[in-house]
């Protein structure tokens, strides 16, 4: 199994292992939902992250559990019940998500404007090149 966090071997950027761990596809939405909705069963979680397939959700939850960011609780009853929640370690990311939300609120409109300007320039260059 591939580890999201590996031993750093002269990395160019020391936050790469954290980026791989926390911001890989589906990890952030799952952690966000669990942090904002609390303990959830699999189907409830899937309903709140509707674009993820059950197979991928299962894989991500296992990886998050392995990484210590999510706690899986199995209730031996009939029918069996499994619940997922953010661990104490996972909750330490709340301030990171809050910072990113603040940055997004303050700057995302500038990114969108820059993209539009860039795209318009490229379109003008392409039209000019076609002559």
Q: Say yes or no to pLDDT of 101 above 80.
A: yes
82 and 106 co-located in one domain: no
| Domain boundary residue, one of 57, 74, 90 | 90
Cα 53 versus chain centre, distance: 15
Please tell me the pTM assigned to this model.
0.76
Domain containing 80 equals: 1-90
CA-to-CA separations, 53 to 8, 13, 25, 39, 80, in angstroms, rounded: 32, 32, 12, 20, 21
Where residue 14 falls among pLDDT bands split at 50, 70, 90? confident
27 and 41 co-located in one domain: yes
Contact present, 34 and 84 (Cβ < 8 Å): yes
86 and 103 co-located in one domain: no
CATH assignment of the domain containing 75: 1.10.10.10
Q: Say yes or no to pLDDT of 7 above 70.
A: no
At 75, which helix (H) or strand (E)? strand 70-75
Coil vs helix vs strand at 109 = helix
Closest CA to 82 of 46, 53, 33, 29: 46
69 and 24 co-located in one domain: yes
52 and 85 co-located in one domain: yes
> Token pair of 74, please?
């199995």
Mean pLDDT of 64-73: 96
37 and 7 co-located in one domain: yes
Q: Say yes or no to pLDDT of 90 above 60.
A: yes
> Token pair of 95, please?
């301030």
Per the prediction, the chain carries an average pLDDT of 89
85 and 103 co-located in one domain: no
97 and 86 co-located in one domain: no
The values of phi and psi at residue 26, to 5°, are 80, -25
3 and 58 co-located in one domain: yes
Between 24-28, 40-44, 101-105, 110-114, the lowest mean confidence (pLDDT) is in 24-28
Contact present, 23 and 64 (Cβ < 8 Å): no
42 and 61 co-located in one domain: yes
Where residue 10 falls among pLDDT bands split at 50, 70, 90? low
């Amino acid at each position: 199994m591939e580890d999201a966090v590996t031993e750093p071997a002269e990395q160019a950027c020391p936050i790469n292992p954290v980026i791989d761990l926390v911001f890989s596809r589906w990890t952030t939405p799952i952690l966000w939902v669990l942090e904002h909705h609390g303990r959830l069963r699999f189907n409830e979680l899937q309903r709140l992250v509707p674009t993820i397939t059950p197979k991928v959700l299962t894989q991500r939850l296992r990886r998050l559990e392995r990484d210590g960011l999510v706690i899986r609780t199995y209730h031996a009853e009939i029918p069996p019940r499994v619940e997922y929640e953010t661990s104490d370690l996972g909750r330490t990311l709340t301030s990171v998500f809050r910072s990113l939300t603040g940055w997004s609120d303050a700057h995302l409109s500038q990114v969108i404007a820059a993209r539009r300007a860039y795209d318009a320039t490229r379109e003008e260059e392409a039209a000019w090149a076609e002559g």
